[in-house]
Amino acid sequence: MKKSVLALALAALAATAAHADTLAKIKSTGSVTMGVRESSGVLSYTLGDGKYTGYHVELCQRVLADIQKQLGLAKLDIKYQPVTSQNRIPLVQNGTVDIECGSTTNNQARQRDVAFAVTTFVEEVRIAVKANSGISSIKDLNGKTVATTTGTTSVQTLRRHERAGGVDFKEVFGKDHADSFLLLESGRADAFVMDGSLLAGLIARSKNPSDFKIVGEVLSVEPIAIMFRKDDPAFKKAVDDSIIAMMKSGELAKIYDKWFMQPTPPNGVRMNMPMSEALKAAIANPNDRPMEAYQAK
């Protein structure tokens, strides 16, 4: 019995060690697993039938094409693994996912468990409501029901906001962003607190976009980045080098324009979100600073 337990422990240790060198893993297998989201606005979403697309998905595809060249691989098989706010970090840690290309905020707590590439999107957390709700700011949420997605930090951010003092609201949770929006759409929640780009994307793709609006104060400014395993400097360098090259060449700005200013699949919906000054600054000076560095400003 003891030998079996020891064997399992050694096997787990060996697997962990193998995952620590992602480039070697990719080269030996000729494949890589990309973590993707099913409803993270235009950052990462599904088209159905196992197809995924979006701003961060395309950026990761470009990064992996560069890594394929770096490793001298004639072919690289990209496997797409749907992840949620709850399981994305464990799936990166245990090696199921090699690179996560969704809508993950880089913060100090998460940096203890995973690593992040340089920032490729800067998000503002906002509040979505029905257009006829009468809600226009945090104070109007008193006595209301507020939805957010399990595994995200948005409601905690709302509670910490300086204008949330004395505001008492009930929380409800969706299993993913689409589910959280459904809580708002169906009237089970009065508001949905989440990243502004995700809210804008969900509203744009809803049956009646004019029924909803984004209101209130900016609750938080958060750097969003591609995520992968800790303690793998060679892989981080490969990812960062590829992204920074796209930043310097202007290619990243073109990809941003494609997803945030032009019609997007499958229905030609436009986000109409010009690049923020915060993201322009992150492109001009590439960095992997956590959210706390932005809050300190």
**Half-sphere exposure (Cβ direction) of 218: Cα atoms closer than 13 Å:** 9
Query: Does 3 score more than 80 pLDDT?
Result: no
Q: For the chain, percent helix, then strand, then coil, each to nearest 5?
A: 45, 25, 35
Query: Does 201 score more than 80 pLDDT?
Result: yes
What is the pLDDT of the chain when averaged over all its residues? Answer: 91
pLDDT at 19: 52
Among the ranges given (21-25, 210-214, 266-270), the one the predictor scored with the smallest mean pLDDT: 266-270
Distance from C-alpha of 213 to C-alpha of 234, rounded to nearest angstrom:
44
Distance from C-alpha of 183 to C-alpha of 68, rounded to nearest angstrom:
42
What is the identity of the amino acid at 23?
L
Per the listing, tokens 């400003």 go with: 297
What are all long-range contacts of 278-284, with beta carbons under 8 Å and residues at least 24 apart? 278/122, 278/221, 279/119, 279/121, 279/122, 282/118, 282/119, 282/120, 282/122, 282/223, 283/247, 283/252, 283/253
Bigger pLDDT: 256 or 163? 256
Query: Does 11 score more than 50 pLDDT?
Result: no
User: Going from the N-terminus, what domains does the chain have, and what CATH number goes with each?
Assistant: 22-120+225-295 (3.40.190.10), 124-222 (3.40.190.10)
Entry pTM: 0.80
Kind of pairing, strands 44-48 and 39-40? antiparallel
In tens, the pLDDT along 240-252 reads 999 999 999 999 9
